[in-house]
Copies of this chain bind each other. A is one copy, B any other.
Amino acid sequence: MSAESRFLTLLRLLANDPAAQGLQDDVAILPVGDSRLILTSDTMVEGVHYLPTDPPADIGWKLAAVNLSDLAAKGARPLGCLLNYALSGDENWDAAFLEGLGDALERHAMPLLGGDTVAMPAGAPRSYSLTAIGEAGGAVPTRSGAQPGDRLYITGFVGDAGIGLTIARDDPSASGPLVDAYRRPRPRLTEGALIAPHASAMMDVSDGLLIDASRMAKASRVAITIDHIPLSPAMEQVRGGSTATQIAAARAGDDYELLFTLPPDGRLPVRAIPIGHVAAGVGLTLMIDGAMMPLPERLGWEH
């Protein structure tokens, strides 16, 4: 067990309120009066969650986007957020970060309500946290509700952000749709709100399709089969559509599409791509072009 796993075990002992959901989901669900608040918080660390060469405006955008994506996966409406910011020592860098953060917040109607700004000792890696608060509109899908017979969908392509990261690492000045997918992910708030009333389970794909689908299978105590890995035209142009490319795309993180299940007779409330189905049993099965594939040892980004 890793140090982080051990720490999370201790955290779960502490987080014994029902609203914490045993820390098994990406969010907490806190009832307040007649409302249910959706709470989430993400930290981004230089060199761990982004490249030191990424433009600061994109880092600011992404910090907002990853939190908004957690709200999207619950069909929640953003109410506001708090920012914990460590000054970088470079005023222009900080201003550009805020500009990108502000763009993402404004685009998704998420007010900035407060937080804390600190100065770090010289030479410390940059790190930032955002805590987002949303309000559930009605049903709040979790990752544990998938049922045998359900169909599995995703709101968009996978793997673009992973290729974008590789491109940006090789050439920090590169641009285009794949780099954009990595640096400026689009949280699926509208889609999430439309899907939530109908989905038996939903989560955002932050660590990779295979690992996140396997988490959904585990939490729901069902077997999930993925029989299609949707690649974007931009990806196919750069990498083709080979089996290896498909598997790499399904292991790549940072896509922030929504993965969800619908009952077999359920109407699809938004445009989404059917990628598999749910059955009784356990675990994840991957089919490519009708053939069962051995799962890669590492399914995606492990924290």
Residues of A within 8 A of B (CB): 3-4, 6-8, 10-11, 14-17, 19-20, 23, 27-28, 30, 32-35, 37, 39-43, 45, 47-49, 79-80, 82-87, 89, 91, 94-95, 98, 101-102, 105, 111-121, 124-125, 127, 129, 131, 133, 135, 303
Contact = CB atoms under 8 A, between A and B. Distances in A.
B17 A112 contact: yes
A176 B111 CA distance: 44
Contacts of A98: 7, 10-11, 14
Contacts of A7: 85, 87, 91, 94-95, 98, 117
A194 to B, nearest CB: 23
Contact of A47 (B34, B111, B121): B121
A7 to B, nearest CB: 5
A102 B105 CA distance: 33
Given A112-B15, A124-B124, A4 B80 contact: no
B20 A87 contact: no
15 contacts: A4-B117, A7-B95, A8-B117, A11-B98, A15-B113, A23-B114, A28-B82, A28-B113, A28-B114, A33-B33, A39-B133, A40-B114, A42-B116, A43-B129, A84-B84
B30 A33 contact: no
A115 B114 CA distance: 17
Contact of A115 (B10, B41, B119, B127): B41
